[in-house]
Amino acid sequence: MARRSIPILKHLLSTRSQSEPFNSTFKRSVTYMHRPGDGTPRPVTLIPGDGIGPLVTGAVEQVMEAMHAPVYFEKFIVHGDMKAVPTEVLESIRKNKVCLKGGLITPMGGGVSSLNVQLRKELDLYASLVNCFNLPGLSTRHDNVDIVVIRENTEGEYAGLEHEVVPGVVESLKVITKFCSERIAKYAFEYAYLNNRKKVTAVHKANIMKLADGLFLESCREVATKYPGIKYNEIIVDNCCMQLVSKPEQFDVMVTPNLYGNLVANTAAGIAGGTGVMPGGNVGAEHAIFEQGASAGNVGNDKVAAQKTANPVALLLSSAMMLRHLQFPAFADRLEVAVEKVILEGKYRTKDLGGTSTTQEVVDAVIDALD
């Protein structure tokens, strides 16, 4: 029976090839088979923050509504000059597991600690991730930039252990532990493995801080042996900064202690188009907070806030990361494609990208570009 059917099959295929040539460009769409109940709207804690924060989080709210995305927001007013994150905010994030946040100003000096750092420590958001990449249509000095900076988020110089030994002498402790170094290294390699990345680079200053950064490197090396398919290398942080501004395309995934990661992520963001377009987030075992990827230097810029010209792109792309984290991949794809269309077209851009558009004009353009 099987042999008899072969000539028939050949005839059918030859007939099809004569009348309907095979379309080599045809691509089968990937079907996401959801679990029952996955379409239930998910609550997300929203912290608009300071300065431009309410503008850019408001932009996300508008786009989510236009997409009919299955999320709804529990909004809390928090400001960077508060002494502590309000209890009800922490309870909401612990309940919802996910938060979207605008920038919070950290006062310089004085006795007020950073609420950003408080959130990371309270929720054990040990991994910060910033994706710095070229957006099509946005002119930058370097091409082919696609760097993911993964930064340890809970210790190092941000441990907050400072005291005055004697008048005029202050001691600030840098804390590095095996536990935190191993888990951030594991997260970086796991990210590379799951996202088909080819290389992980550990950034350090072990030539000077031989014990602290030496322990960080030792942990990275141990984890690297468990991922033989991923190339591993190391680079001293000062050389790293020089290489970033001269040959950024050589980097893929970078894993760093706390302070270095802040510097490296902002440098990479500047190379790839600026902090206004770089998405990011902070994640732990149970919770995640999504925010603008690199430091928002204009968070407290009263002029930008008053003129309503803040760039919403970074937080829109961060919210796409959030949607994917919530297992709503189709909504994430739609949002990212719409943002990329607007950037590529070039008609609506805020001042930091060389345009004259307001925040609302960019938002309206993204909504119009939604499929």
Q: What is the mean pLDDT of residues 110-123?
A: 83
Model pLDDT, residue 112: 58
Tokens of 188: 């970086």
Residue 39 scores a pLDDT above 90 = no
- Which of 10, 282, 45 is closest to 158 using CA atoms? 282
Model confidence band, residue 179 (pLDDT cutoffs 50, 70, 90): very high
Residues 6 or more apart in contact with residue 192 via CB below 8 angstroms: 198, 199, 200, 227, 230, 252, 253
Where exactly are the structural domains of the chain?
Answer: 40-129+275-370, 141-272
Residue 154 scores a pLDDT above 70 = yes
The CA angle 297-276-336, to the nearest 5 degrees, is 155
pLDDT for 233-260, tens place per residue?
999 999 999 999 999 999 999 999 999 9
Alpha-carbon distance of 277 to 292, in angstroms, equals 8
Model confidence band, residue 105 (pLDDT cutoffs 50, 70, 90): confident
Pick one of 3.40.718.10, 1.10.1060.10, 3.60.110.10, 3.40.50.300 as the CATH number of 40-129+275-370.
3.40.718.10
Residues 6 or more apart in contact with residue 255 via CB below 8 angstroms: 150, 151, 184, 185, 188, 200, 201, 202, 203, 220
pLDDT for 12-22, tens place per residue?
445 444 444 44
pLDDT for 43-75, tens place per residue?
999 999 998 999 999 999 999 999 999 999 999
Are 202 and 255 in contact, with CB atoms under 8 Å apart? yes
Whole-angstrom CA distances from 206 to 30, 217, 238, 242, 251 are: 45, 8, 12, 17, 20
Return the CATH number of the domain spanning residue range 141-272. 3.40.718.10
Model pLDDT, residue 164: 87
Are 280 and 128 in contact, with CB atoms under 8 Å apart? yes
Q: In what order do the strands lie in the sheet with 199-204?
A: 71-75, 42-47, 98-101, 288-292, 279-283, 127-133, 146-152, 253-256, 199-204, 231-236
Q: What is the mean pLDDT of residues 89-106?
A: 94
User: Is it true that 40-129+275-370 and 141-272 share their CATH fold?
Assistant: yes
Model confidence band, residue 224 (pLDDT cutoffs 50, 70, 90): very high
pLDDT for 298-349, tens place per residue?
576 778 888 999 999 999 999 999 999 999 999 999 999 999 999 999 999 9
Residues 6 or more apart in contact with residue 325 via CB below 8 angstroms: 98, 281, 283, 288, 290
Model pLDDT, residue 16: 44
Model pLDDT, residue 106: 81
DSSP lists the bridge partners of residue 235 as 203
Alpha-carbon distance of 180 to 175, in angstroms, equals 10
Report the 10 Å Cβ neighbour count for 300: 17
Tokens of 99: 């938060």
Per 3-state DSSP, the chain is made up of helix, strand and coil in percentages (nearest 5) of: 45, 20, 40
Tokens of 339: 């943002």
pTM of the entire predicted model: 0.88
SS3 255: strand
